[in-house]
Chain A
Amino acid sequence: MAYNSLESIVAYCKEHHASFYEALLADDMEERDVTAEDSLSRMTALWHTMQESAASYDSSLQSASGLSGGQGAKMDAYMKQGESYCGPFINIVMKAALEMAESNACMRRIVAAPTAGSCGVMPAVLIPAAEKWKIPDKKMVEALYVAAGIGQVAAERAYIAGASGGCQAEIGTASAMAAGALVYLRDGSPEQICHAVAISLKNLLGLVCDPVAGLVEVPCVKRNVMGAVNALTSADMALAGIESFIPADQVIDAMKEVGDKMDVSLKETGAGGLAFTKTARDFEKEFRAAHQ
């Protein structure tokens, strides 16, 4: 991989008069020794799979644990009732995030982005945006390169797994990926893409991975909503010209440092945080007993 920093992607863009997407396409072609055509067709297939996965949400499904199911449908009903606080577009994004995260919990097919636990974030912002602003597939696929490039730097410099760096690494990275993609879709500059990454990740620093009974459901499903909405607010700020005081690469490094300092009970071991509450521990006892 050519880039281990967002800074080097921006430098490539300047040097080659390239877009953020083009910088990453070039990287993929070199890394996997493939043609532009091969790379694009693979990414396009992924975009279609994301869309299919979103379209096949089944509101009647419940997860094996009983903890997830039907929340997307509740959001849908609420939206249709009247004027919500967030407004129609954000409500659609929230519903999409709930649906995808629930699908994951219910053993449906999803695209890990970057992980299964955070699979709800990217499609939740990208699919509604594509629909609302009639963005052609080609542009959406380019945005996926931007997102993947951001995630790759996070994986290289820090972590993308909750077990390694807490939820700030999973939902945090997914949110930063989505924020960068959203800025790209509005033709934001590479610098603005980086500010969106920095802002979105900063907001989630320190977030722990504390899944109830060790399952990817509580609080994971609703955190996907938060990751998606955080991406929208960060993208809007970046596009408004609002800048992050700390550069994106340093924010990523801070995420790593915080993850390293995080106690292991807060990194997907079910031993701390929400997983350690009375309700969670009672549920876990019952759940284990029922399945012995």
Chain B
Amino acid sequence: MNLFDILGPVMVGPSSSHTAGAVRIGLAARKLLGEEPKEAVITLSGSFSSTGIGHGTDKALVAGLLGMEPDDMRIPKSFEEAQKCGLSFRFVHETVKDFHPNTAILDVTAESGRRTLVQASSLGGGRIMINYLDGVEINVTGERPVLVIHNIDKPGYVSLVTSVMAANSVNIATMTLHRSKRGGTAVMVIETDQNIPADAAAHLKSVDGILKVTCLNL
């Protein structure tokens, strides 16, 4: 903790959890999509759903999808901005079981057809947790860059990805591996200390057997 956790953040009100946190969730989904979002279906759960309107949670999530930061004065007008940018969206209110009372699920699609499903929670004080990405539990805070690789479950991929990181002087902070079943689809969730360079990500995308590459850079 430091003094600037007490004074700040500079944000658009009224609530650091329901507004500022929501903007950060929208922003994270945009970055994870990696392209300009064209369509979004946003599911709100818990307190996000019930008090969201008064807190502008819906406007905040769309603002984040459009690339606005939590202190952007255009947040209250984000729906109009979305129209201008050609982002179409709709909201669904649902109860997501067993999750944090401030949870949103963003199903976002880009013009190219690339699609990302992000489930995240707003923990309070503007902090968020990205719980699921494309159905895989990742639980990252978004405070560090994240690289998520979907690949076929065969030897050599972990080594390949970490070598590319090493070659680009990107230090790995945390790393978890999951797979659907042996020989099925494997997932690597890597948090790094440095942003992942675009050409490194592009190179990984081109590798045979790597099915999807998702980056969240700061």
Nearest CB in chain A: distance from B128 CB, A: 15
Nearest CB in chain A: distance from B121 CB, A: 14
Asked if A107 and B6 sit within 8 Å, CB to CB, the answer is no
A151 is an interface residue with CB less than 8 A from chain B: yes
A10 is an interface residue with CB less than 8 A from chain B: no
Asked if A155 and B7 sit within 8 Å, CB to CB, the answer is no
B39-64 residues with Cβ-Cβ distance < 8 A to A are 47, 50-51, 53-56, 59
B137 is an interface residue with CB less than 8 A from chain A: no
Known: A1-B1, A115-B16, A155-B1. A107 touches B76 (CB 8 A): yes
Interface of B, secondary structure class, is mixed
A151 to B1, CA, bound (A): 11
B1, B12, B54, B75: the one within 8 Å of A215 (CB): B54
A288 to B50, CA, bound (A): 7
B83 is an interface residue with CB less than 8 A from chain A: no
A122 to B8, CA, bound (A): 12
Q: Which interface residue of B11, B15, B93 has the most chain A CB atoms within 10 A?
A: B15
Interchain Cβ contacts under 8 Å between A and B, 28 examples: A31-B2, A46-B7, A49-B10, A63-B14, A64-B53, A64-B56, A105-B13, A106-B76, A107-B56, A107-B59, A108-B12, A109-B13, A109-B71, A110-B13, A111-B11, A112-B9, A112-B10, A113-B6, A113-B8, A115-B125, A116-B13, A119-B13, A144-B7, A152-B1, A155-B5, A155-B6, A217-B14, A217-B54
Task: Determine the chain A residues whose CB is within 8 A of the CB of B124 once the complex forms.
Answer: 161, 163
Asked if A213 and B4 sit within 8 Å, CB to CB, the answer is no
A89 is an interface residue with CB less than 8 A from chain B: no
0/1 string, A49-64, CB within 8 A of B gives 1: 1000000000000011
B119 is an interface residue with CB less than 8 A from chain A: no
A253 to B8, CA, bound (A): 24
Task: Determine the chain A residues whose CB is within 8 A of the CB of B73 once the complex forms.
Answer: 108-109
Asked if B3 and A216 sit within 8 Å, CB to CB, the answer is no
Beyond A43-B7, A119-B13, A215-B55, 9 additional contacts (C-beta under 8 Å) are A31-B2, A46-B10, A107-B14, A116-B15, A151-B7, A214-B47, A214-B51, A214-B54, A215-B51
A149 to B47, CA, bound (A): 32
Asked if A65 and B13 sit within 8 Å, CB to CB, the answer is no
A156 to B2, CA, bound (A): 10
A-side residues, CB < 8 A to B, are: 1, 24, 27-28, 31-32, 42-43, 46, 49, 63-65, 103-117, 119, 122, 144-145, 147-149, 151-152, 155-156, 160-161, 163, 177, 213-217, 270, 287-288, 291-292
Task: Determine the chain A residues whose CB is within 8 A of the CB of B12 once the complex forms.
Answer: 107-110
A116 to B56, CA, bound (A): 14
Task: Determine the chain B residues whose CB is within 8 A of the CB of A31 once the complex forms.
Answer: 2-3
Nearest B-chain residue to A24, judged by Cβ? B3
Task: Determine the chain B residues whose CB is within 8 A of the CB of A110 once the complex forms.
Answer: 10-13
Asked if B14 and A104 sit within 8 Å, CB to CB, the answer is yes
B19 is an interface residue with CB less than 8 A from chain A: yes
A1 to B6, CA, bound (A): 13
Task: Determine the chain B residues whose CB is within 8 A of the CB of A161 once the complex forms.
Answer: 124-125
B63-103 residues with Cβ-Cβ distance < 8 A to A are 71, 73, 75-76, 93
Going nearest first, the 7 A-B pairs with the smallest beta carbon separation are: A104-B13, A151-B6, A148-B3, A214-B51, A215-B54, A216-B14, A107-B76
A44 to B1, CA, bound (A): 20
Asked if A213 and B9 sit within 8 Å, CB to CB, the answer is no
Nearest CB in chain B: distance from A259 CB, A: 15
Known: A156-B1, A287-B54. A109 touches B59 (CB 8 A): no
Number of chain B residues whose Cβ lies closer than 8 Å to a Cβ of chain A: 34
Task: Determine the chain A residues whose CB is within 8 A of the CB of B93 once the complex forms.
Answer: 292
Q: Which interface residue of B6, B47, B56, B71 has the most chain A CB atoms within 10 A?
A: B6
A104 to B56, CA, bound (A): 11
Nearest CB in chain A: distance from B150 CB, A: 36
Task: Determine the chain B residues whose CB is within 8 A of the CB of A288 once the complex forms.
Answer: 50
Asked if A112 and B3 sit within 8 Å, CB to CB, the answer is no
A216 to B124, CA, bound (A): 14
A148 to B75, CA, bound (A): 27
Task: Determine the chain A residues whose CB is within 8 A of the CB of B6 once the complex forms.
Answer: 113-114, 147-148, 151-152, 155, 160, 177
A63, A64, A214: the one within 8 Å of B50 (CB): A214
B28 is an interface residue with CB less than 8 A from chain A: no
Task: Determine the chain B residues whose CB is within 8 A of the CB of A151 once the complex forms.
Answer: 6-7
